[in-house]
Structures are given as structure tokens and as C-alpha cells.
């Protein structure tokens, strides 16, 4: 379509918008507007107006035209759902035959607004692909409180963790609005893995990324970062399990990493003048270790005390270079973390002077 043709269509669209406003119960003007929207490839608005036209025709007793309108709307919905299905991150690696068969034969699940798709603790190996609508993912913390972790949109996957590791569902998934999903049984996902191992690798990577995004929200600053930045950061993070009584970092060691504590007990230790170990601080879940690299008041970025995992600890590790490069793209977050680094150091120096 040339720019002149597009401009002419937009001019006609404006004219029919006025006519529809003047004669809201005239189906002819509404149908013309829909036809122009389809020519302009504005399928989302066209689909909404087709629904309106369908009910208008039914109310006027035009049953046959109403059914024809319904068929057009369903065809548009099918096209949109296919686009979202084929845009799912890891499925582009699957064969076209598998994709086509999966879309045609697998069960579709409608979830009304406020209904649950998944409940925490359920045992199920189905994986779901969102075709339309939005769903909220709510995790449960150790105290039983629910936390909003993510909002799923069309083209995203949910339920892959339960299939990959065989564990019960680790979150509630609730529809924020009416949603449609494609359910893929675990046995068919396994067939896909056998057909192309790269699909499994991509799915595992996606699952790890989402797992890290959930963990990032344990930190009060990182949880406020834009979703796209959280995702970029998550792809650079490494999930680590540290054994109890392991010295994570040593006093005087150059800071090469930024560590986010996800669980466990971590303490900052030093020795007093009598050679006795003194606990300077106990770090909680969500704390960031190594933020001193952001402190512009310090030239020599080294750990000022030993950092020890007192219990089995899980953390996410970033190299300082990657962490800084990503954080600098969001000035507000960057400044907040710099302020936190300076506060941490001032508090640390005060504590060490008073206790050692």
C-alpha cells in the first residue's frame, strides 16, 4: 500500500467515524468502518467493532448477517492467536509440523477474570501458552504472604518449571481479564525435546531467567526497575548454591561481583584487637553484596571484612562490569543504588569503629 492510498483510507475512516457517531444504530456505516480498519491492518480495533456489529445485527433481527460477522471475528481471533503462539520464545526452534499440529489439536482453556488457572501446590505437568488476555503470577513467601511476581501476556509460557523439575506448582496464576490459553501435555513437550534438544535448552534458559527475575524483586530497588531491564539483568545473572560456613569473600579481596542474597544467613565478620571474631552485620534476604563498586567516593574497591555464609545460601551473582553497564541505563535506579552503597559504607565504618 502506497502512502497516498493509506492517506485516502484514513480520510475515509475519519468520515465513517463521524457517521457512526451520528447514526450509532446503523450497521452499514459500522461495517464500512470495519472494512477500512481491516485494509489498514488495524485488526485489534476491527475485532472490537465486529463484536459490536454482531450484537447490533442480532438486535435488529438480521440473523444471517450476524452469523457472517461472527465468523469474520472468529477468523481474526484465530489469526491473532496463531501469531502469539508462533511468537512464543522457544517454539521458533520447533518444526512447522509440530507447531501446526499443536495449535490445531491441543486443548484450549478459557479462564474468566478472577478465576485461577493454577493454584500453589498443585501437581500437574501441563505447560500453557497464553493466546490472549493477561494473568497474574502470585508467589508465596515463607510467612505465607502472597507477592505479585509477574503479569503474563499473549505469547508467554507458564507451567514450564513443574514439567522440567517435577515439583508442585510454586505460584498461583489468576486471570486479570478473560484469557485464552493453549494447554500442552507434558508427554508432548517431551516429544518436542526429543525432536530438537535446542528447544529444551531454550526453555530451561527461559525458566532460569524468570526464576532470577522473581529473585530480583527481593531487593527494594531492583523490584522497581522496568520489566525489560529486569529481564536483561536476569540473563546476566548466575544462580549459585553456597554451602554453610563458606567464606564468600575475604577482607582485602578486589570486588569483582555483585551478589544478591535470595535465602540463607550471611554475616560480615572481622577480628577485634584480641583476635576474636566480631559480627559487624547480618545480611538479610534481598541484600546486595559488592555495591561498593558504585561508590564514587572510594578509589580502591575491596571488601573491608570477611563475608561468610552461616547457613546454606542461595544467591544470584553478576560480574561488576555487566551489572554496572545494565544499571547505568536507568539513571533513577543507578542513583538509588549509589546512595545505598554510600549509606552501607557509612554504616559499616561507624559499626567497625564502635565494636572493634
13 vs 17: CA distance, rounded Å: 6
231 vs 216: CA distance, rounded Å: 10
CA separation (Å) from 164 to 118, 190, 193? 16, 10, 11
Give the CATH number of domain 103-195; options: 1.10.1740.10, 3.30.2270.10, 3.40.630.40, 2.60.120.10. 2.60.120.10
Domain ranges in the chain with CATH number 2.60.120.10: 103-195, 235-355
| pLDDT the model gives residue 232 | 92
Q: Rounded to an integer, what is the distance from CA 256 to the centroid of its chain?
A: 28
Q: Give the pairing of strands 179-184 and 277-283.
A: unpaired
Please choose, from the candidates 43, 44, 52, the residue with its C-alpha nearest in 3D space to the C-alpha of residue 70: 52
> Taking the domain 3-85, which CATH number applies?
1.25.40
305 vs 266: CA distance, rounded Å: 13
| pLDDT the model gives residue 176 | 93
- pLDDT tens, 299-343? 567 888 889 999 999 999 999 989 988 998 889 999 999 888 888
Q: What three-state secondary structure class fits 112?
A: coil
**What residues have CB less than 8 Å from 74, skipping those under 6 apart?**
none
| pLDDT the model gives residue 244 | 92
Query: Which three three-digit cell numbers place residue 228?
Result: 525489560
| pLDDT the model gives residue 356 | 54
Domain ranges in the chain with CATH number 1.25.40: 3-85
Cα–Cα–Cα angle for 117, 119, 120, nearest 5°?
145
| pLDDT the model gives residue 195 | 79
| pLDDT the model gives residue 65 | 84
| pLDDT the model gives residue 257 | 92
pTM value > 0.75: no
Containing 132, the helix (H) or strand (E) segment is: strand 127-132
**Residue appearing with cell numbers 551473582:** 317
Please choose, from the candidates 57, 78, 79, 59, the residue with its C-alpha nearest in 3D space to the C-alpha of residue 68: 57
Cα end-to-end span (Å), the chain: 76
CA separation (Å) from 294 to 256, 258, 330? 12, 10, 14
**pLDDT tens track of the chain, all 356 residues?**
788 888 888 888 888 888 888 888 888 888 888 888 878 777 667 777 888 888 888 888 888 888 888 777 766 665 666 666 666 666 666 666 666 666 666 788 889 999 999 998 888 888 898 888 899 999 877 677 788 888 888 888 888 777 777 778 888 999 998 888 888 888 887 887 887 788 788 888 888 888 898 889 889 999 889 888 998 999 999 999 999 999 999 988 888 999 999 988 899 887 777 767 778 888 888 999 988 766 654 556 788 888 999 999 999 999 998 998 899 888 999 999 988 888 877 777 776 666 65
| pLDDT the model gives residue 84 | 64
Asked: is 235-355 a CATH 3.30.450.20 domain? The reply is no
Name the DSSP class of 158: E
Inter-residue contact 292 to 262 (CB < 8 Å): no
101 vs 122: CA distance, rounded Å: 28
- pLDDT tens, 217-253? 889 999 889 888 998 999 999 999 999 999 999 988 8
Query: Which three three-digit cell numbers place residue 271?
Result: 577480628
Amino acid at each position: 500500500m502506497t502512502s497516498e492510498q493509506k492517506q485516502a483510507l484514513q480520510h475515509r475512516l475519519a468520515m465513517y467515524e463521524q457517521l457512526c457517531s451520528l447514526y450509532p444504530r446503523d450497521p452499514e456505516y459500522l461495517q464500512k468502518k470495519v472494512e477500512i480498519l481491516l485494509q489498514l491492518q488495524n485488526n485489534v480495533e476491527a475485532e472490537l467493532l465486529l463484536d459490536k456489529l454482531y450484537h447490533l445485527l442480532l438486535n435488529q433481527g438480521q440473523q444471517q448477517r450476524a452469523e457472517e460477522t461472527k465468523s469474520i471475528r472468529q477468523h481474526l481471533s484465530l489469526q491473532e492467536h496463531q501469531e502469539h503462539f508462533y511468537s512464543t520464545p522457544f517454539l521458533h526452534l520447533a518444526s512447522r509440523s509440530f507447531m501446526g499440529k499443536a495449535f490445531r489439536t491441543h486443548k484450549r482453556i478459557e479462564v474468566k477474570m478472577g478465576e485461577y488457572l493454577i493454584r500453589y501446590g498443585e501437581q500437574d505437568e501441563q505447560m500453557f501458552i497464553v493466546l490472549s488476555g493477561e494473568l497474574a503470577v502470585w508467589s508465596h513467601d515463607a510467612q505465607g504472604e502472597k507477592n505479585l511476581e509477574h503479569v503474563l501476556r499473549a505469547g508467554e509460557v507458564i507451567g514450564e518449571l513443574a514439567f522440567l523439575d517435577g515439583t508442585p506448582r510454586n505460584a498461583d496464576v489468576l486471570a486479570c481479564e478473560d484469557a485464552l490459553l493453549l494447554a500442552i501435555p507434558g508427554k508432548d513437550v517431551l516429544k518436542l525435546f526429543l525432536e530438537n534438544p535446542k528447544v529444551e535448552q531454550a526453555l530451561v534458559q527461559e525458566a532460569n531467567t524468570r526464576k532470577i527475575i522473581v529473585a530480583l524483586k527481593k531487593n527494594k530497588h531492583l523490584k522497581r526497575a522496568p520489566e525489560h531491564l529486569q529481564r536483561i539483568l536476569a540473563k546476566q545473572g548466575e544462580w549459585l548454591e553456597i554451602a554453610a560456613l563458606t567464606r564468600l569473600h575475604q577482607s582485602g579481596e578486589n570486588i569483582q561481583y555483585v551478589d544478591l542474597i535470595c535465602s540463607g544467613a550471611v554475616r560480615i565478620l572481622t577480628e577485634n584487637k584480641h583476635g576474636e571474631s566480631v559480627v559487624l552485620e547480618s545480611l538479610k534476604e534481598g541484600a546486595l553484596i559488592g555495591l561498593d563498586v558504585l561508590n564514587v567516593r572510594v578509589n580502591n574497591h575491596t571488601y573491608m571484612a570477611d563475608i561468610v555464609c552461616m547457613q546454606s545460601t542461595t544467591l544470584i551473582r553478576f560480574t561488576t562490569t555487566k551489572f554496572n553497564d545494565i544499571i547505568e541505563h536507568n539513571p533513577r535506579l543507578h542513583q538509588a543504588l549509589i546512595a545505598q552503597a554510600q549509606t552501607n559504607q557509612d554504616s559499616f565504618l561507624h559499626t567497625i569503629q564502635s565494636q572493634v
